[in-house]
């Protein structure tokens, strides 16, 4: 057991961190947008919208991410001529886009359920009050529903973010050399599995530590009990239009 080896290992593995972060950020952003749309479809009360959203969540939550990744990468790879005709092949040829697509679609399903839970937690009284103030549905969504729902959903969503950051390790199975991919390669060269995987684990640990702290900070910032610099003026009802 030598320390210089572990230090060298850490430094090599850190070379894969940018890719890990790229994968995490892209899939979370894309997946988050998808999740919001899915959750709104699901709670719209319109069967034509809610049924597809329900089916989507059922499929993507019910199958392992690894299988989704393989289906998109190796599965669609078998339909190259068809994809080339559609002009989509340059997208599916690239393992990075395949990985982002799989992870974004997966996290969209999970996150939409988290957001749906948040939406359901908005008290009906708040909605009625907003309507009574003359807010239209879109403004009500923006000003009342989403802020309350996001605050409720944030702890669970933080969990999902951590899961996604770690799920990027699956990208190594489709030749992307992120932290886990590099670790596997180093083990292949040195056969020192314990030290190298421990270093890789340490990097993920640091990453999730930062992520969970960030979510906690956001929770605090959104908290209604946070001391604000200036107390809001006591306007009771406003539609946002100048009086």
Q: Binding residues for another protein, per CB under 8 A?
A: 1, 3, 6-7, 10, 74, 77-78, 80, 93, 95, 173, 175, 177, 181, 184-185, 187-189, 191, 193-195, 198-199, 202
27 phi and psi angles, rounded to 5 deg = -70, -30
* Residue number with CB closer to another protein (9 or 43): 9
Q: What is the closest distance, in whole angstroms, from the C-beta atom of residue 15 to another protein in the complex?
A: 14
Nearest C-alpha neighbor of 22 from the set 176, 210, 215, 185: 176
Q: What is the closest distance, in whole angstroms, from the C-beta atom of residue 177 to another protein in the complex?
A: 8
Q: What is the closest distance, in whole angstroms, from the C-beta atom of residue 165 to another protein in the complex?
A: 18
Coil, helix or strand at residue 181: helix
Q: What is the closest distance, in whole angstroms, from the C-beta atom of residue 71 to another protein in the complex?
A: 13
* Residue number with CB closer to another protein (109 or 199): 199
Cα-based torsion angle of the residue sequence 81, 85, 89, 92 in order, rounded to the nearest 10 degrees: -80
Within 63-145, where are the H helices?
65-70, 76-77, 80-86, 89-92, 95-120, 124-132, 137-140
* Residue number with CB closer to another protein (78 or 230): 78
């Amino acid at each position: 057991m030598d320390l210089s080896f572990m230090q060298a290992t850490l430094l090599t593995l850190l070379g894969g961190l940018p890719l890990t972060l790229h994968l995490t950020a892209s899939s979370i952003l894309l997946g988050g947008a998808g999740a919001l749309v899915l959750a709104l479809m699901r709670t719209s009360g319109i069967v034509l919208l809610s049924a597809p959203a329900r089916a989507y969540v059922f499929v993507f939550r019910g199958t392992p991410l690894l299988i989704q990744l393989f289906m998109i990468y190796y599965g669609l790879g078998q339909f190259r001529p068809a994809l080339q005709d559609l002009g989509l092949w340059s997208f599916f040829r690239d393992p990075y886009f395949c990985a982002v697509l799989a992870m974004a679609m997966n996290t969209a399903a999970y996150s939409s359920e988290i957001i749906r839970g948040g939406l359901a937690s908005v008290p009906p009284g708040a909605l009625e009050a907003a309507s009574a103030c003359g807010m239209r549905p879109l403004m009500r969504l923006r000003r009342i529903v989403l802020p309350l729902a996001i605050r409720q959903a944030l702890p669970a969503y933080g969990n999902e973010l951590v899961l996604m950051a770690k799920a990027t390790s699956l990208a190594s199975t489709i030749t992307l050399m992120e932290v886990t991919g590099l670790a596997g390669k180093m083990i292949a060269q040195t056969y020192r599995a314990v030290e190298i995987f421990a270093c890789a684990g340490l990097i993920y640990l640091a990453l999730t530590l930062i992520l969970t702290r960030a979510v906690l900070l956001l929770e605090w910032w959104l908290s209604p009990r946070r001391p604000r610099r200036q107390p809001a003026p006591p306007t009771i009802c406003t539609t946002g239009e100048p009086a």
